[in-house]
Structure 1
Amino acid sequence: MRRPAPHPVAPWVRTRLRAAPGAAAALALLVALTACLAGAYPRAVDRYEDAGLRTALRQARPDHTTVRVTAPQPDLGLPAGRRAEAMRPAALERQYAKVLGAAAGPLTVDRAQSAYGVAATVSPEVPDPFLPRPSGLPARVWLVAPNGLAGHSRLRAGRLPRAARPVGSATPEVEAAVTAATAKSMNIEVGSVVHVPAPGRRPLAVRVTGVVVPREPGGAYWSTMPLQRSPELVTLPTPGPDPAKYWRGALLLPAGAAPALLGTGTDPVRYWYLAPDLRGLRAHDLDRLKSAVAALESGPGLRRARAVTDSGTDVATELDDTLTLFARLRSGISPLVSVAAAGTGTVVAVVLLMTGGLAADRRRAELALLRARGASLPGLTGRLLAETAVVAVPAGALGLAAALPAVPEGRLWPAVVTAAAVTLTGCAALPLRAALAHRTVRATAPREDVAGVRPSRRRTVAELTLLVAAVGAVAALRRRGTSDDQLVAAAPVLIGVVAALVLLRLYPLLLRRLTGPARRLRGAVGHLSLARAGRTSASAVLPLLALLTALTTAAFGGSVLAGVADARDRAALLTVGADARADADGPLPAAVPGRVRALPGVRAVAPVSIDYQAKPEDGQDPVPLVGADPRSYGELTARTGLGAVPGSRLAGRTGTLPAVASPSVASAYGTRRPFLVRLTDGSAVTVRIVLVRDRTPAVSGGDFLVVDRAGLADPANRPTALLVTGAHLDPAALRHAVGGSAGIHVRAEERARYADSPLQTGAVHVYTAAVAAGAGFAVLALLLGLLRAAPERAALLARLRTMGLTRAQGRRLLVLESLPQALLAALGGVLTGWSAIRLLSPGIDLTTIALPSAGTPLTEAELHADAWSLTVPALLVLVASVAVAALQAWWTGRQGSVRELRAGETG
């Protein structure tokens, strides 16, 4: 029996990809680019947070970050041999290997910088006459026997110390080394012998055999105990003008000589110092890292350390304090970065959905025909999913593969998750849109004009739900601040979504309001453009949502960045007092002000004399007294905005001098009566407070008095500081003009110093990149929305040209048709961005991201609306919409009408 020949059936996916290769390539490019950005974002955040953590630990110094495990000397009741054996290197090394196991979890140990040994806890006085005695007090020495001295130092003179025979508590003499800094400060040479007192026996003779130089002076091996590296001059808190001082330095014994400390009165302890490996610490493990440190200090880790060393072992570190400070800084920065991530993510999702919607609209007739011929909705959706997956999945994988080397640091799984989410959205956009549009079999698709369709109850309920969620998020954020990352991230996005829905509700009303004035217009272009604007598809919610979300995020982000810049500028101005400042301990040379005025870029110079120890009414509390030229100082205060002082109010050369005072000084000495101020040189001046100002440029503190410099006696009237204003000042030229008599502080340099943490600078860079990406995708959403209506517009112009419409009228028609939506998006974006900033500013503090944790005179940086961030993106949207409409009209005018008419007839 012959079988019938099978009918050749081409696979669906291959057929569709061959039929529309351009659309497939565009989808692949969009998914690849989006997946690359999505995969790079979490790794970029990890990178700057990890760098910030390492910088915070490095700035805290090893003496605060090293985990110090110490055990007391062996029990006095034990035999002398057993006590000495417990102090030898072999026993300490075995215990060190076991102590390392107590540091579990994410706390990784840098074994190269960790150390163990024996150290004294008492630094006895030594009577040797060659040691310095700055105040007549004998020097003190600190005995320490560290491991690995040879590997962590270079020999400058002599040889390294050795323990030639087994050393015990009765050993009369041992060898030692000293660092070059200790040898220089304490007059120690190779061959010097230091006699350390020992109770009940002759002093222990410590012979110096070598002078060493640390290989890594800043490493944990030397810096956990800084005295081991550098001596210190100790000042005793004694009364009198000349406090008592003495030197204290370290003698570095060989590890085998540690038992000798048992015979001294230094109360030695055994130590095992665990230096954290900064390269192995990650910010995302911060909570686990804090738990591991806590477990070492007073938990299971401490029990394990005592089990392998001694029952009296103690663990101490300030690492947890450093981690807490870093966590506080990160908690203030992360919510602000999440705003840009949420806004950009929303815009990206909208663009991917619009891409699917555009493809579904382009194939509406095809899919409707398939449904009419019996294709099931699940089958049709599955075929469309396979069609898009073949394109989107490889593109998403390619984008992820490009993101990993672009940002080589950071975790892998967040990048994979975000790239997979983008890929999944790209795959599902077309099938979901098609399933929604063709869930019912229809011969023709119904019209859904935005001006004619009445919102359904489901839409009304959804809009009210979003409105309630947005109001709740804003209220909670204003009340609680930026303590909740998700809340801060969701609030601006929710405001943009609600604004888009509200504007779509108002759009038909606005169009109806325009019909009245349009009746007075002559010609048909105005009426036709309004009719065309009213026939916009009701699905225009997606491009409007993308635009408003992007504009809100851009306005919010631009205002954040502008607020950060303003806060740093303000803090730098408060610190310097002008664009540049020259300060000297005494009077400046007379020629210096003239040389500074002649420098390029200098606008004005205000010479001032400052006496920081002036005492009103011969009291004990000093108040800085500033002597200034009324005219130049008045211009400076007006230009900087720091306590503006009219020059006429300050002028006064004889008798009682008028003074400008801070509120605290005015409250203490009054504004109605004159009072005497005693200067450091012994002279005195009588002043009366005539003006009260919160700040003044010459002094950054909260207390000050400002008087006319001409009313002061010589030498108090000679300038000790110059306040310089100008643009593009050259610090090197200023230093050369002033010479070595003064220190130079430039406002630009001071401002650059405030962003001292990679956590701050990295957050600003990621925020800027996220806002830029959101703006780019918003423009893409705008172009997709215009591309959706492009065939219909081309066919319309072709038909109207057959009825006598000129090219100029065609351009006006398309421009006027696009203007209502463009104006709606632009004005709505400005209003939404301004509203979001006004609503959220009470709960957002920019101080953490703008300024260091301490050392700046500005206590708080607030979020304010930035005019450029509000208007520029909105104007770009308006210009882009009009430009695309005009370009389409010009291009259509150059083409013939036959093709467009045929496309319109068949569509």
Structure 2
Amino acid sequence: MPPREQGAPWVRTRLRAAPVATVAFGVLVLVTAFLAAVLPRAVEAYETDGLRAAVAGASPESTVLELKAVQPGLELPEKDRADEVLPKALKAVDGAARSLLPAPLRADPAESAYGVRTAKSLEAQEASLPRPDGLPPRFTLATQSGLAGHATVREGRLPAAKTPVTVDTRVVEGAVTAETARTLRLRTGSTLTLADFLDGPLTVRITGIVEPRHPQRSYWSAEPVLRTPGLTSTGSRLPMFYWEAGVLLAPGAAPALLGGQGEPEKYWRFAPATGRLTGSDTSALVEAVASLEDGPGLVRMRGAAGPTAQVSTGLEQIAGSYTQTLDAITPVVAVAAFGIAAVAVVVLVMSGGLAAARRDAELALLRARGGSLPGIAGRLLAEAAVPAVPAAACGLLLAVLVVDEGRPLPGVLGAGAVALLACAVLPVRAVMAHRRPRAHQERDDLAHARPGARRTVAELTLLVLAVGSVAALRRRGTETTGDLLVSAAPVLIGLVAALVLVRLYPLPLRWAAGPAGRLRGVVGFLSLAHAGRSPAAVATLPLLALLTALTTAAFGGSVLTGVADARDRAALLETGADVRISTTDGGPLPAGLARVVGEVAGVGQVVPVGVEFASERASDTTRSLTVVGAEPDSYAGLARQMGLGGFEADRLRSGGGVRDAVASPEVAERLGREPRRIMLPGGAVTVRITAVRPRTPAVPEGEFLLVDAAGLKDFRRPTVLLAAGAGLDAKALRAAVRGAGPELSVELRGEARAALSDSPLQSGAERIYVWAVAGSAGYALLALVLGLLRSAPERAALLARLRTLGLTARQGRRLLGLEALPQTLLAAGGGMAVGWATVGLLAPGVDLERLALPDASGVTAPGGAALRADVWSLALPAAGAVLLAGAVAVAQAWWAGRRTPITHLRAGDMR
């Protein structure tokens, strides 16, 4: 029979001989391939969501692409000038410019618009219009396309150009939004007489009042003055204010704007379509914007819109801010990826080692009978490939189904690498173990293992890499993207620690075996002696996996704890307490509000405070000073409870006309410790600073001076209400406050905390980190189980022999439990120590603020988001490893006790 026909039955036979092991190996490869494929897809998915959210969440003024060109030149005939600003010509340019947008920029047709507008607002001459400081309002005129599809007519009708409009036309129709009409006291039929036209003013007759359908979208918000009027300052030393508003003319009325001095300009606004943006498009997006603003893209746009056309947008700033956040997050997330990858590789190697150990006698016999290494390796490769390749393909398919976004190549490469490793580990381990035919099994236990020169060189190289990565991380931090050495620092520390512990592991076994041998019982001595004679690989690989996983878990737990602490602190500094209630204009609160709030479920403490502004005179200048008045006992208790500048209540006692005060460091430095007079709205007050605190609940950030409110008429009516309590009913609280007054603002610390984790980039990275740490812990425990299964036959045979000598079942359980204890305790204790040391070594180079706080929120955590060791992240995984090892040993002893010794003892068995 040809060799090809002989190979397949042999592979099939070997797989059928161990169906459970084959299925378990396939499941391991499937899970590992799934994780290797889904991780890059999930990272790309949250990066894509983050970019889309950054663009969609920014103001339309920043995101819209605006192409604009000056009015047609005066050298052209008036008819040609008018034709260039009519809707037909503008629409043609709009289509041409939209087709010239470079990828990945795409325009959203529903929110894009074009037209003609006055770059300089025009002054209205009607005396009936509101004039805050005596200055007439000014209006921006625009002939924006698509008004009928973006507004609902509330009164009248939309403007129209019933007769052809020319440069000399002086009466046109227009429409304003309901908010503009309400603010400027306009109605249907009103007229606006606008100056700055050569042959007399332009009259705009208001024919309709419209309501924007989507006021926050680009159509209305790219130029907010068309939607909402606003007060504008003259910008002088003594500023005066006037109203600035917008009027929408009929598109056909654009030629009338050419006859004035409002500097009319043509514009085309393209709202970006974010649905097709991906995280990998960030650099291309920045390049495309740069090309449009000052590059080849601008040259092409000028070919469509005219030689003076310009393109402006704020997309590059948005993409730049997103990139900075991503660059700060990626190295931290890469630590988790390195951790789970390292542990997964160890587990796959251990699975191959377990299979090679189970087949050791068979392979030794094949070699003794003339089997070649290539032939044996080829058969073993085929055995491993039959379950591994389909399992890896299923893992890749499952990853695609779970995360449908993302490029296929990274996932395929990850699953392919897992399949390659799974197929190669068994033949490689077998070839290394059977390079030479041997007559008997050589001893490879810890007591006699001597590391060779190659292993020493490899360990020293790994040590140098670990030292270099720690030094680089402490010096440069995590700001350098793509620096794999920096991201691998925790994993390298764990690997080096594992190798050091493996070298030191035999020493305590030898030291403890002597005293244990002098004890009356034999269980302790036998457990230590057998633990020392376990194969070196059985101790090395599980210890490697456990320490790497425990180090990654400790680092990951510390990261998550630091993120949570930073968010809690930032939320507290926004509100100053669990609840902050104030008026929208800073005025006094309604009487009885404190009693109403105190009756809400979950509210434990209510503290009313008054906030006023005093004048502080220093040398020749007068400065404004925030003064907080409160009842000393309740306020001091709240400050201690919130952890914001706690102090003793007697620091605010008053007497002899001088009021004691607590101040911020800046105020204390200016006023000193001697009594000083400050001017409150109700008169002068003398204060003496008795304590300095960096923050206080009423003013969480900024300078302040805290005094006793008793006896000061300025603080008889509180302006801020601070409340503390657990399990607050937010809905009931808002309902109670709403019943007390309509113009009250309610800020909840819990809502502020939740808002800080809404960013897709931060929440996605945090989610990836959690699952990666959990996966690495699972692989580490699986490595521990595989290590125990690797030596299970030897332990079962030992237990059977000892049972024939009178060992009881209880002693057998103690024996196996104590045998597994040294390695497990070493891994648990070493993992805790290494995890703690890793966090301490790397903390100076890791700033978690970008991961903790959304960049767009403008919120900061004082002192940054620091990395610190988390006790639970250190202790829980280590305790879990000890408990699992003990449970497996007890279960094995129970299972072996149910079987007769003859099952494990056979003639000629050398175990």
TM over 0.5, shorter chain: yes
Match of 2:706 in 1: 706
CA contact (8 A) 1:114 1:275 kept: yes
CA contact (8 A) 1:338 1:488 kept: no
Provide closer, same or farther for how the CA distance between residues 184 and 596 of structure 1 changes in structure 2, counting only shifts above 3 A: closer
Deviation string, structure 1 residues 472-499 (Cα, Å, up to 9, x no partner) = 0000100001023423321011001101
Match of 2:680 in 1: 679
Deviation string, structure 1 residues 32-58 (Cα, Å, up to 9, x no partner) = 122222222122212222222122222
Task: Report matched runs for 1:436-835 at 5 Å.
Answer: 436-485=432-481, 486-539=484-537, 540-583=539-582, 585-586=586-587, 588=589, 591-594=592-595, 596-597=597-598, 599-613=600-614, 615=616, 620-671=622-673, 673-680=674-681, 682-710=682-710, 712-735=711-734, 740=740, 743-835=745-837
Matches of 1:239 and 1:9, distance apart in 2: 94
CA contact (8 A) 1:795 1:904 kept: no
Task: Report matched runs for 1:37-48 at 5 Å.
Answer: 37-48=35-46
Matches of 1:297 and 1:9, distance apart in 2: 66
Provide closer, same or farther for how the CA distance between residues 901 and 764 of structure 1 changes in structure 2, counting only shifts above 3 A: same
Q: Please give the secondary structure, in 2, of the residue aligned with 1:75.
A: coil
Deviates more, 1:333-342 or 1:570-579: 570-579
Give the aligned length.
Answer: 899
Match of 1:232 in 2: 230
> Which residue among 386, 392, 404 is the counterpart of 1:390?
386
Task: Report matched runs for 1:254-265 at 5 Å.
Answer: 254-265=250-261
Matches of 1:650 and 1:806, distance apart in 2: 75
Deviation string, structure 1 residues 658-696 (Cα, Å, up to 9, x no partner) = 22222111111111x21112222x233211112222222
CA contact (8 A) 1:177 1:210 kept: yes
Structure 2 residue identity aligned to 1:637: A
Whether 1:25 aligns to 2:26 is: no
Matches of 1:149 and 1:631, distance apart in 2: 61
Matches of 1:440 and 1:642, distance apart in 2: 72
Match of 2:409 in 1: 413
CA contact (8 A) 1:451 1:507 kept: no
Deviates more, 1:465-474 or 1:341-350: 341-350
> Which residue among 82, 88, 91 is the counterpart of 2:89?
91
> Which residue among 281, 285, 289 is the counterpart of 2:285?
289
Deviates more, 1:180-189 or 1:522-531: 180-189
Deviation string, structure 1 residues 537-566 (Cα, Å, up to 9, x no partner) = 111322111111110111000011111111
Matches of 2:283 and 2:136, distance apart in 1: 48
Residue 575 of structure 1: how far off its partner (Å): 3.1
Q: Please give the secondary structure, in 2, of the residue aligned with 1:624.
A: strand
Residue 8 of structure 1: how far off its partner (Å): 7.9
Provide closer, same or farther for how the CA distance between residues 79 and 541 of structure 1 changes in structure 2, counting only shifts above 3 A: same
Matches of 2:587 and 2:188, distance apart in 1: 44
Residue 589 of structure 1: how far off its partner (Å): 6.0
Residue 614 of structure 1: how far off its partner (Å): 5.5
Task: Report matched runs for 1:12-161 at 5 Å.
Answer: 12-129=10-127, 131-161=129-159
Residue 597 of structure 1: how far off its partner (Å): 4.7
Match of 2:303 in 1: 307
Matches of 1:192 and 1:867, distance apart in 2: 72
CA contact (8 A) 1:603 1:724 kept: yes
Matches of 1:725 and 1:199, distance apart in 2: 62
Structure 2 residue identity aligned to 1:344: I
Deviation string, structure 1 residues 246-283 (Cα, Å, up to 9, x no partner) = 33332222323322221222221111222211112222
Deviates more, 1:157-166 or 1:276-285: 157-166
CA contact (8 A) 2:523 2:814 kept: yes
Matches of 1:342 and 1:8, distance apart in 2: 42
Structure 1 residue identity aligned to 2:779: F
Structure 2 residue identity aligned to 1:14: R
Whether 1:889 aligns to 2:887 is: no
Matches of 1:120 and 1:67, distance apart in 2: 18
Provide closer, same or farther for how the CA distance between residues 733 and 794 of structure 1 changes in structure 2, counting only shifts above 3 A: same
Whether 1:182 aligns to 2:180 is: yes
Identity %: 53
Residue 358 of structure 1: how far off its partner (Å): 0.8
Residue 737 of structure 1: how far off its partner (Å): 5.4
Whether 1:858 aligns to 2:869 is: no
Deviation string, structure 1 residues 376-416 (Cα, Å, up to 9, x no partner) = 21222122112211211111111111121212222222222
Residue 204 of structure 1: how far off its partner (Å): 3.3
Residue 534 of structure 1: how far off its partner (Å): 0.5
Match of 2:363 in 1: 367
Match of 1:170 in 2: 168
Residue 879 of structure 1: how far off its partner (Å): 1.1
CA contact (8 A) 2:849 2:861 kept: no
Deviation string, structure 1 residues 852-878 (Cα, Å, up to 9, x no partner) = 332346241110001111111111111
Deviation string, structure 1 residues 458-483 (Cα, Å, up to 9, x no partner) = 00000000000000000010000102
Residue 66 of structure 1: how far off its partner (Å): 1.0
Provide closer, same or farther for how the CA distance between residues 204 and 344 of structure 1 changes in structure 2, counting only shifts above 3 A: same
Provide closer, same or farther for how the CA distance between residues 223 and 583 of structure 1 changes in structure 2, counting only shifts above 3 A: closer
Matches of 1:594 and 1:162, distance apart in 2: 59
Matches of 1:434 and 1:108, distance apart in 2: 57
Residue 76 of structure 1: how far off its partner (Å): 1.2
Structure 2 residue identity aligned to 1:106: P
CA contact (8 A) 1:155 1:211 kept: yes
CA contact (8 A) 1:124 1:266 kept: yes
Provide closer, same or farther for how the CA distance between residues 206 and 737 of structure 1 changes in structure 2, counting only shifts above 3 A: closer
> Which residue among 825, 837, 840 is the counterpart of 2:839?
837
Length-normalised TM-score, structure 1 = 0.94
Residue 715 of structure 1: how far off its partner (Å): 4.8
Q: Please give the secondary structure, in 1, of the residue aligned with 2:629.
A: strand
Structure 1: gaps of 5 or more residues: none
Deviation string, structure 1 residues 598-648 (Cα, Å, up to 9, x no partner) = 554444444433324454679631222223333333333333332231223
Provide closer, same or farther for how the CA distance between residues 389 and 251 of structure 1 changes in structure 2, counting only shifts above 3 A: same
CA contact (8 A) 1:795 1:903 kept: no
Q: Please give the secondary structure, in 1, of the residue aligned with 2:715.
A: coil
Matches of 1:596 and 1:604, distance apart in 2: 9
> Which residue among 425, 430, 437 is the counterpart of 2:421?
425
CA contact (8 A) 2:103 2:284 kept: yes
Deviates more, 1:15-24 or 1:559-568: 15-24
Residue 733 of structure 1: how far off its partner (Å): 4.0
Structure 1 residue identity aligned to 2:553: A
Structure 1 residue identity aligned to 2:687: V
CA contact (8 A) 2:676 2:686 kept: yes
Provide closer, same or farther for how the CA distance between residues 634 and 122 of structure 1 changes in structure 2, counting only shifts above 3 A: closer
Matches of 2:552 and 2:400, distance apart in 1: 26
Matches of 1:130 and 1:665, distance apart in 2: 49
Provide closer, same or farther for how the CA distance between residues 310 and 661 of structure 1 changes in structure 2, counting only shifts above 3 A: same
Q: Please give the secondary structure, in 1, of the residue aligned with 2:443.
A: coil
CA contact (8 A) 2:150 2:214 kept: yes
Length-normalised TM-score, structure 2 = 0.94
Structure 1 residue identity aligned to 2:689: I
Matches of 1:216 and 1:338, distance apart in 2: 41
Residue 7 of structure 1: how far off its partner (Å): 10
Deviates more, 1:525-534 or 1:455-464: 525-534
Task: Report matched runs for 1:895-906 at 5 Å.
Answer: 895-902=899-906, 905=909
Structure 1 residue identity aligned to 2:385: A
Structure 2: gaps of 5 or more residues: none
